[in-house]
């Protein structure tokens, strides 16, 4: 279980740089230069747009691309567990951390935003069904290809933090996150987003 007070032990330069920034924010706040907070974002999914080079990008890709009628590569085993959050819930968390008092945050400046802990298998399983993600056609567009970099960089575990105590919670299920993405796509007919793989 990863909590706000879990000792950070970065395994990548990316994580080390984030921890350096957290410590700088804490020191500047201690000296009274700023009133700072560091919000630790979980993997945001389903993100619109194109795949990118981030190790966690496939968490969006294995939903977004099949819904668009495009094959997607899943580079990890179905048993991989990871904390995820929808774009909307992530924005809610950032606003809440910005507006909260220091007392409400329990005296900590670096906080984990709430997330839904899911496995890759659950992402596929909870999103099944014609009314949810397009049924068999969309699911058939998911392929698996092992990649050592993803296995090494992605954290496995569960997450909890003070943001939950402040009233912020993740979605109830991954299906809710997928439904939110589909609704957002349909609400933006002018955007470069398609749902060709979505069953009617």
Return the domain boundaries, the chain: 13-186
Q: Flag whether pLDDT at 42 surpasses 70.
A: yes
- Region 165-185: what's the mean pLDDT? 83
- Mean pLDDT over all residues of the chain? 79
Q: What residues does 119 pair with on adjacent strands? A: 81
Question: Across 43-127, where does the E strand assignment appear?
Answer: 43-44, 72-74, 81-85, 110-112, 116-119
- Region 11-37: what's the mean pLDDT? 94
Confidence of residue 130 (pLDDT cuts 50, 70, 90): very low
**Which of 103-112, 118-127, 131-140, 156-165 is modeled with the greatest confidence?**
103-112
Which of 147, 143, 163 shows the shortest CA–CA distance to 100? 163
Q: Flag whether pLDDT at 25 surpasses 90.
A: yes
Q: What residues does 85 pair with on adjacent strands? A: 44
Residues 6+ apart with CB under 8 A from 18: 10, 40
Least confident of 44-53, 119-128, 179-188: 119-128
Edge to edge, the sheet with strand 81-85 lists 43-44, 81-85, 116-119
pTM over 0.85: no
Q: Which of 8, 14, 20, 27 is catalytic?
A: 14
- Write down the pLDDT at residue 162: 55
- Region 131-141: what's the mean pLDDT? 48
Is residue 181 annotated as a catalytic residue, yes or no? no
Q: What is the CATH number of domain 13-186?
A: 3.90.25.10
- Write down the pLDDT at residue 165: 56
- Region 50-66: what's the mean pLDDT? 86
Look-up: residue for tokens 């979505």? 198
Q: Flag whether pLDDT at 56 surpasses 80.
A: yes
């Amino acid at each position: 279980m990863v909590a706000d007070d879990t000792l950070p032990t970065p395994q990548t330069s990316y994580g080390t740089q984030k921890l350096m920034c957290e410590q700088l924010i804490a020191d500047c706040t201690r000296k009274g230069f700023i009133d700072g907070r560091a919000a630790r974002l979980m993997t945001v999914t389903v993100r619109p747009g194109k795949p990118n080079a981030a190790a966690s990008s496939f968490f969006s890709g294995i939903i977004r691309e099949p819904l668009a009628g495009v094959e997607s590569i899943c580079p990890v085993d179905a048993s991989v567990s990871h904390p995820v959050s929808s774009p909307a819930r992530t924005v809610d968390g950032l606003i809440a951390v910005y507006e909260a008092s220091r007392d409400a945050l329990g005296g900590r400046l670096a906080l984990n935003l709430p997330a839904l802990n899911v496995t890759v298998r659950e992402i596929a399983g909870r999103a099944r069904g014609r009314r949810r993600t397009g049924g068999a056609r969309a699911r058939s567009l998911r392929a698996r290809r092992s990649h050592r970099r993803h296995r090494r960089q992605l954290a496995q575990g569960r997450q909890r933090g003070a943001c939950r105590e402040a009233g912020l919670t993740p979605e109830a299920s991954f299906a809710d996150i997928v439904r939110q993405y589909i609704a957002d796509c349909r609400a933006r007919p002018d955007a470069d987003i398609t749902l060709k793989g979505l069953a009617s």
